[in-house]
Structure 1
Amino acid sequence: MADTEQVRNAGRRLATDLRDLREARKIKPESIIKATRLTVDVFERFDESALVDHPAFNRVYIRSVVASYARVLGIDEDLACRGLDEALDGTYAGGIRRVYIEGLPVDEWSEPIDSDDAQLADALEATTETPGLFDKDESDSDVAHKPGIFALLGNRKLIPFILLIVVALAILIFINKSSSSDVEETEIGNSIIPVPGPPPEPKWILLGDSIRFDIIATTEKLDPIRVKVDSDSLRPYWIEHLDTLTFYVRRNVIFRRELDVADILMDGYLLPDTMIDSSGQIELSRESAQTWLDSLAVKEVARNRPLS
């Protein structure tokens, strides 16, 4: 388990990167507050620590906040949530900054070490001349007492073979990197036109036997919210400000009252306000819930598909 101080430091790095990206794209804090439905004081806490050390918020809720934040910034929600997961583990090292501020590819999110490049660097280093090998300061007598020098001079004949090995390594590295590319290239005349591969399949989200619903009193105390789970009757629930109440549903659920001051998460996904019907309630069956999750998967594919 990560050290508490490591988690705090990682949370501060994540919050700083999101704040710097927000300011670089000239997005007002009010836009983030509206999208995340955070109060001003909680947003200020998020701006400092990403709420990773806040006792009132769990991982599921913070993920929903980060996902909403990412939508306003126009960045990949999965990458933003990946940054949060790393922060909660105490390992976030600035991936969002590298990708979205410094403009590095996603592959360099955590700056992996390329073993092929390391081998090439070692080979190049092996071909460099030994320092002091041909120093003119040495007298002939000094050289005469160093038979190893003549042996090294004789080995200069091997330098072309070493250079040949280096070139072969460079070609292998180039071939490996080219074969891992997701884009095929077709040569037409003197130009190379990238040809995209097949579109990615949606990442379908399947509901389990029980569907988890988290009700969070984000703006103020819920006084009360009414909930009907499966065949149970409609019951009132009082939830203190920033507290969370969890239900597990098998077939259907109804939420009524106080929906404008609460966030409701279904298996970690924030239900939009558009689900509130004309009578002021949200009613979901297992089938309608699965249909909504399917629509999220399709929208995600469409959002990430490059324009032709």
Structure 2
Amino acid sequence: MVNPVVFESMRRLAHDLRRIREKRRRSLQAVHNETKIALELLQHFERTALYDHERYNPVYLRSFARTYASALGIDPAQVLEALELAQEGLYRNQLAVQYLGEAPLPEEGGTMPEEITAITPERPAEVEEEASRTSETPALPLSVGPGGLERLERRSQWRIGVVIVLLLAVVIGFLWWWLRPLPAPEPLPLPSPAVVPVDTGRAVLVPETTAAVASALRWVLGDTIIASVIAAFDKVDPIRIRVDNDLRRPYWIEQGDTLQLSFTQRIILEEQLNDIQLLLDGHPYPTDRRDLQGRLVITREGLQAYLDSLAR
């Protein structure tokens, strides 16, 4: 609710500030250009010091008055002191006494000069057009910034907040995608085993080579061939093996263990052949391909021929 005493005091302060500006030959347009305050607010300030304005706020008003005083070249501290008096209904004409050389009004019973009641703020030609534009859109509340007073742009601040939230969401999504654990690669299918009968009636598991894979691969033996003798079915006690031109030697292998030997041209295995599985360079080799003496004689040429037969 408007206090009539305060309202009169604020109008007297605004009237004195306008006359100080006119005496210093500063137009409202010049003040607007320097302070960036809307012309509509400047005009209303010089009528009632914004006391009856819908955007009136004591905090904003102090910043407004300080900026306005700086634009006129007068002491902002004195203007703020006068504003405090006006807000208490105690301002007489202190600024007019100091800057216009007028006599002070009496403390009690002073009334507004007649010219104040009929104040018509100046509207030079260059201001008319701007005032008509600004009057169509109500000015926003004022806030204090590094360059003086600026109008608050609530919608802009709200939009900036939304943009910041969206950017944070995009950044978090990108980081999650970048740091997410990659799925383990699917294991390659293993060849299905096929059962190959041997003389002993036991079954030896040999990986099945499909026709398509076998036709595309031809095993090439290296200079040295690795023979892996596996005691798959029972303890080997012992097996006798001759490597190339070396002597025939006995070997004892516990069930489940593997004996590895290397040869270049030939290897001969004797005794307990039914209890083993044999791998040559990692390729299963049947143990039933024996000679008339029951030995397993494997030569480089014979092994190559056997591997080539699998590729056909």
Q: Same fold (TM over 0.5)?
A: no
Higher alpha-carbon Rg: 2
TM-score scaled by length of structure 2: 0.35
TM-score scaled by length of structure 1: 0.36
Structure ranking higher in helix proportion: 1
